[in-house]
Amino acid sequence: MDIIIRNANLQDGRSGIDIGILGERIAVLQAGLEAKAGREIDASGRLVCPPFIDSHLHLDSTLSLGTPRLNQSGSLLEGISLWGELKPSLTQDAIYQRARKLCVWAMARGTLAIRSHVDICDDRLLAVDALVALRDELKPYLDIQLVAFPQDGYLRTASSPENLLRALAKGVDIIGGIPHFERTMADGAASVAQLMRLAAERGLMVDMHCDESDDPLSRHIETLAAETVRHGMQGRVAGSHLTSMHSMDNYYVSKLIPLIAEAGVAAIANPLINITLQGRHDTYPKRRGMTRVKELMAAGVTVAFGHDCVMDPWYPMGSHDMLEVASMALHVGHMTGVEEIKSCFEAVTVNAAKVLNLENYGLAPGNNADLVILQAADPIEAIRLRAERLFVIRRGKILAETEPRVAKVQFGGEVKSLDFTRADLDLC
């Protein structure tokens, strides 16, 4: 073996597992592995999991906070106009450098796959050129999927249909959309139908910003699901945000969720952003905007979570930590039951891998030797502590390391070291 990780806890509850890595693959995964390796890492009963995945991000705007100015109101609409102010002065290199920096942050956080939307409404397509180059350059480090995203509307902006085709020709992987931002409900539905036809013709996956609104009558997800069935694209289509579902009539939702499940359309919630941008017109009670994660999961829909924004015109916070995303989701979604917390961890790991259609993902013999060792015993502790990623391994090579987080307290005449894990409690 090249590397053996000893005494690991796994996401599924197994413990005391040794993981043998040979080359770029996991060779063996069992208790008491009798083999030698060039490097042995003692996980000491900590959680070892496959890499985190961010299923919804905007790499073209990330880390642009403060250029040209800060969002004073913090609202979605001021964010969109700020992005509009920034666009004329954007350069391909500036986009590239910021996105590259974010990807290095992601690696340190053990996030080794990102699906990023890229705005195609600027006729120069600078962001497309920057991010296609970045995706190809960073292939050894992390997987990036790019979605052609008509931020200013597909039918609403005259050049969008042509720009979208140009973006695909430049190598963008996935077709996006924004039906709730078209001028009418009818235009929104028409945009979904046209974009789905295009995706079906080209054999491409689809991921639309869909119903990112508090309007309970924003029902484009219904059209997206129906078109998915029509074209036989089950398992290859995702609806991002779906925040209007938070506000929809319950009777209508009882019909809608089974349709989404039958269509095999995945749902991507962005809890950090949904909770801060939705409900802005409300007084009290304030709606929190996140889609119906619990109910979608219960119906068998694949639900993943995205970070969406990190220090950009829409969101001044964040350091690209998918455990922070999972934590926010479980708080907003009232998902503090044991299995519910675990399902939030899955939404930033295995569920997201399904949405991205990643191959050879997961801790099993034959799969890619991509994994993270966390300073936590299990997924619940990992979310609670937003645990450090002690080791991040990509294709059998150590990509990132972080020292364990330990506090030292002068107390009772001695120095106590503590890390807030349950192991601390045993010492009390």
Known catalytic membership, residue 78: no
Smallest separation (angstroms) from Zn ion to the CB of 100: 20
Sign of CA dihedral 424, 330, 209, 362: positive
Question: Per CB under 5 A, which of residues 183..202 are in contact with Zn ion?
Answer: none
The nearer residue to Zn ion, 348 or 390, going by C-beta atoms, is 348
Residue 137 tokens, joined = 């350059």
The nearer residue to Zn ion, 54 or 143, going by C-beta atoms, is 54
Q: Which uninterrupted H or E stretch holds 149?
A: strand 143-149
Shortest-Cβ-distance residue relative to Zn ion: 308
The nearer residue to Zn ion, 118 or 372, going by C-beta atoms, is 118
Which DSSP state fits 393? E
Q: Under a CB-based contact definition with an 8 Å cutoff, are residues 386 and 65 in contact?
A: no
Question: Per CB under 5 A, which of residues 39..78 are in contact with Zn ion?
Answer: none
Question: Do β-strands 266-269 and 25-30 pair in parallel, antiparallel, or remain unpaired?
Answer: unpaired
Smallest separation (angstroms) from Zn ion to the CB of 328: 16
Per annotation, catalytic residue among 24, 162, 212, 401: 212
Q: Under a CB-based contact definition with an 8 Å cutoff, are residues 320 and 307 in contact?
A: yes
H helices of 121-249, in order, are 126-137, 160-169, 185-202, 220-230, 244-247
How distant, in Å, are the alpha carbons of 71, 265, 272, 323 from that of 346?
A: 33, 17, 17, 11
Question: Per CB under 5 A, which of residues 277..306 are in contact with Zn ion?
Answer: none
The nearer residue to Zn ion, 143 or 308, going by C-beta atoms, is 308
Smallest separation (angstroms) from Zn ion to the CB of 173: 16
Total residues at the site for Zn ion (CB under 5 A)?
A: 1
Which residue, chain included where needed, has tokens 């350059």? 137
The nearer residue to Zn ion, 308 or 378, going by C-beta atoms, is 308
- Span interacting with Zn ion, options 6-14, 308-316, 340-348, 350-358, rule CB under 5 A: 308-316
Smallest separation (angstroms) from Zn ion to the CB of 80: 11
Residue 4 tokens, joined = 């053996």
Q: Under a CB-based contact definition with an 8 Å cutoff, are residues 125 and 110 in contact?
A: no
How distant, in Å, are the alpha carbons of 17, 327, 365, 390, 398 from that of 373?
A: 13, 19, 17, 6, 11
Smallest separation (angstroms) from Zn ion to the CB of 238: 12
The nearer residue to Zn ion, 182 or 308, going by C-beta atoms, is 308
Residue 44 tokens, joined = 């000491």
Smallest separation (angstroms) from Zn ion to the CB of 132: 19
First to last CA, the chain: 39
Residue 204 tokens, joined = 């491409």
**Any idea which residues carry the catalytic annotation?**
212
| Site of interaction with Zn ion (CB under 5 A) | 308
